[in-house]
């Protein structure tokens, strides 16, 4: 998680009246922030503490904000290569490009509703794949046997990322 040691001259504003909704919209005092450039600027200062709280941190100020689910959405997917040689990258709603690799893995949440997975953006911060991006990813998946278990997933940067387990049919 982010460095939590307060800088002596950093002003701690405590709770800011700022929220990131589940749909990725940013709000200030209950009003949507309309300018994407402002959202991207705030997003660049976002960190997460070990207690799970989200903070906007600059060299001189800090304050915590509410995040309903995760702060980012993966809204677009890019693929280079195929099969085991594929490299998957995702664009977030704040225009960060993240490559699916060892430092940026997927986290699958086991829910009956088929909830899309989460992608690590940077330390402690994740993006939830939008449903359309998730379906696009699933359509490109492959069956693999790992440790005698049949899995369905994708290869990216030479690493297999499971999306789910395939049940054995007898």
By CB neighbour count within 10 A (0-12 exposed, 13-18 middle, 19+ buried), where does 149 fall?
exposed
Q: What is the reported pLDDT for 115?
A: 79
130 vs 147: which has the higher pLDDT: 130
- Cβ proximity of 157 and 101 under 8 Å: yes
Q: Of all residues in the chain, what percent carry a pLDDT higher than 90? A: 79
pLDDT of residue 148: 86
Domains, the chain, in order of start with CATH, read 11-67 (3.10.540.10), 72-162 (2.30.270.10)
Averaged pLDDT, 122-134: 95
Chain segment 85-94, per-residue pLDDT in tens: 999 999 999 9
* pLDDT mean over 67-82: 97
- pLDDT at residue 166 in the model: 84
Q: pLDDT band for 6, please (50, 70, 90 cuts).
A: low
- Tens digit of each residue's pLDDT (9 = 90 or more) over 32-70: 999 999 999 999 999 999 999 999 999 999 999 999 999
pLDDT category, 2, cuts 50, 70, 90? very low
Closest by CA to 163, choosing from 82, 87, 146, 148, is 146
Q: What is the pLDDT of residues 18-32, one digit of tens each?
A: 999 999 999 999 999
Q: How high is the pLDDT of residue 147?
A: 87
Q: What one-character-per-residue DSSP string does 104-137 give?
A: B-EE----TT-PPPEEEEETTEEEEEPHHHHHHH
């Amino acid at each position: 998680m982010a460095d939590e040691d307060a800088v002596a001259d950093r002003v701690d504003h405590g709770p800011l009246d700022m929220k990131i909704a589940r749909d990725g919209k940013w709000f200030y005092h209950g009003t949507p922030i309309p300018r994407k450039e402002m959202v991207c600027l705030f997003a660049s200062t976002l960190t997460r503490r070990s207690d799970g709280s989200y903070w906007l941190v600059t060299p001189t100020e800090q304050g915590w904000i509410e995040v309903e689910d995760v702060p980012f959405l993966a809204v677009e997917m890019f693929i280079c290569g195929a099969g085991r040689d594929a490299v998957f990258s995702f664009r977030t709603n704040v225009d960060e490009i993240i490559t699916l690799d060892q430092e940026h893995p997927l986290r699958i949440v086991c829910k009956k509703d088929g909830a899309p997975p989460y992608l690590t953006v940077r330390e402690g911060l994740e993006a939830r794949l939008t449903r359309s991006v998730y379906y696009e990813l699933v359509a490109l998946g492959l069956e693999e046997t790992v440790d005698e278990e049949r899995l369905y997933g994708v290869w990216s940067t030479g690493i297999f990322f499971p999306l789910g387990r395939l049940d054995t049919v007898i």
